[in-house]
Amino acid sequence: MKFGIATFVTDDSIRPVPLGRALEERGFDSLFLAEHSHIPASRETPYPGADEMPSRYYRTLDPFVTLSAIASVTTDLLLATGIALMIQRDVIHTAKEVASLDMISGGRMLFGVGVGWNLEEMRNHGADPRTRGALLNEQIEALKEIWTNDEASYAGTHVRFDPIFQWPKPVQTPHPPIYVGGESRAALDRLLKHGDAWLPRGGTSVEEIKRVRAWLADNGRPDVPFTMFAGRADKDQIQAYAEAGIDRYTFLLPDLPESEALAELDRFAALIP
């Protein structure tokens, strides 16, 4: 099993450059960064699991800027979004950002995507929460068209563009792997049809991990990599997930100042076999 970190990098947490260096020094293979463009001041959508939303949701740095800074001071660390809120993004700009980061990092980009949960945030970007799943599916298809064709076009219900030229193309072939986040039936169907890897959230049961692994095998995809996203620092739980078929486990690093963040990374590193 491989081990990585999932976190929010904010304007009052550890900075990108020391974080990236610290991860490589401690043997972590990957970094998954969260994305929120903003948090609406007036909200109807409740924050999952709590009454008050932590400030990291509206203080988080742009993931592509942050990962680019980290790429410049690392050599092997995999650079991932966990997750990019694609339905709030322009698909053509995003294709260029992902391909550019993959190029400047020498092919280290992992593109984690999901539909998100904050309905007001979606609406502020002009996205209709009722069709967000269908939109994301088309966006993934359109991204692959742009990355793999010299002249790309797409004609869907929610995404449409006439033939375009766009470079750079990603270093990885055919493109950076698409990590699909979520455990709903719609998310799993998206994984089966469009994804290269699954990104279940910490707390997903061992039984569900085994069930999804068997379901994918029954549908002709037995070798899909599983990365546990934002898991707890619990040795017994890590072992159970490893036995269930998790390929990578990412620890949830709180948004902390540098000295405290480094101490947490040391604690996580001590759990790596």
Question: What does the pLDDT look like over 45-56, one tens digit per residue?
Answer: 777 766 688 999
Residue 218: pLDDT band by 50, 70, 90 thresholds? very high
Question: What does the pLDDT look like over 1-20, one tens digit per residue?
Answer: 999 999 999 999 999 999 99
**224: helix, coil or strand?**
coil
**81: helix, coil or strand?**
strand
On the question of pLDDT at 195 being above 80, the answer is yes
Check residue 50 and give its pLDDT. 65
For residue 29, which of 8, 13, 10, 6 has the smallest C-alpha distance? 6
- % the chain with pLDDT above 90: 95
Check residue 219 and give its pLDDT. 98
- % the chain with pLDDT above 70: 99
Question: What does the pLDDT look like over 67-125, one tens digit per residue?
Answer: 999 999 999 999 999 999 999 999 999 999 999 999 999 999 999 999 999 999 999 99
CATH number, domain containing residue 11: 3.20.20.30
**Residue 133: which domain range?**
2-269
Average pLDDT, stretch 196-218? 97
| Number of domains observed in the structure of the chain | 1
Is the bond leading into 83 cis (omega within 30 degrees of zero)? yes
Average pLDDT, stretch 59-66? 98
Question: What does the pLDDT look like over 143-152, one tens digit per residue?
Answer: 999 999 999 9
Beta strand segments in the chain, E: 2-7, 30-33, 78-84, 109-113, 152-155, 160-164, 178-181, 197-199, 227-231, 248-253
Beta pairing, strands 160-164 & 152-155: antiparallel
Residue 256: pLDDT band by 50, 70, 90 thresholds? very high
Mean pLDDT of the chain: 96
Check residue 49 and give its pLDDT. 67
Average pLDDT, stretch 164-180? 98
CB atoms within 10 A of CB 12: 10
